[in-house]
Structure 1
Amino acid sequence: MAAEQRLCLSREEIAELTRAHTRAKQLAFLRRNGIRHYVDNAGWPVVTVAAVEGQTGRASTPKPAWNPNKAA
């Protein structure tokens, strides 16, 4: 059976990540640590799995090498 892909962490996982059980403390932790999140209609933080695991879902393209345009 294929592994199930999840989009967001559960409330229990967010509580474990932040080590807080209240909305305000969870939100404060996420903001303080720069973890991307949004707030649902009930006021609870929602964190995507990609925000925690660092997956972008896109193939990264290498940056081109820098070449000066100054004539020497």
Structure 2
Amino acid sequence: MSNLFLNSEELELLTGRKRKSRQIELLRSMGIPFRVNAIGHPVVTRGVVEGRKEDPPAPAAKRWTPKVVGVS
């Protein structure tokens, strides 16, 4: 089973850059969605690169409100 995220070598190969700031710049210019982790490195999911569709976010659960609110 493969990892969920690209490793540093794969990210380097994809962007052609070693420095994280340049990788981020290139990912933005290529339109590849990514997140920046706590230490400033870009994180790209393998599914994005392989062309798999990401699951849409689950709809937000309806918030509970007491019956007293909104009663006229």
TM-score normalised by the chain length of structure 1: 0.71
Indicate whether 1:55 and 2:52 are aligned.
yes
Aligned twin of 2:26: 29
Gaps of 5+ in 1: 59-72
The counterpart of 1:5, out of the listed 2, 12, 22, is 2
Instruction: Give the distance between the partners of 1:5 and 1:16, measured in 2 at CA.
Output: 17
CA RMSD of aligned residues (A): 1.2
Gaps of 5+ in 2: 56-72
1:15 corresponds to which letter in structure 2? Answer: E
Q: Percent identity?
A: 36
Could you report, residue by residue, the CA deviation over 1:46-70 in whole angstroms, capped at 9, with x for unpaired residues? 0000110110255xxxxxxxxxxxx
Q: CA deviation at 1:5?
A: 3.1
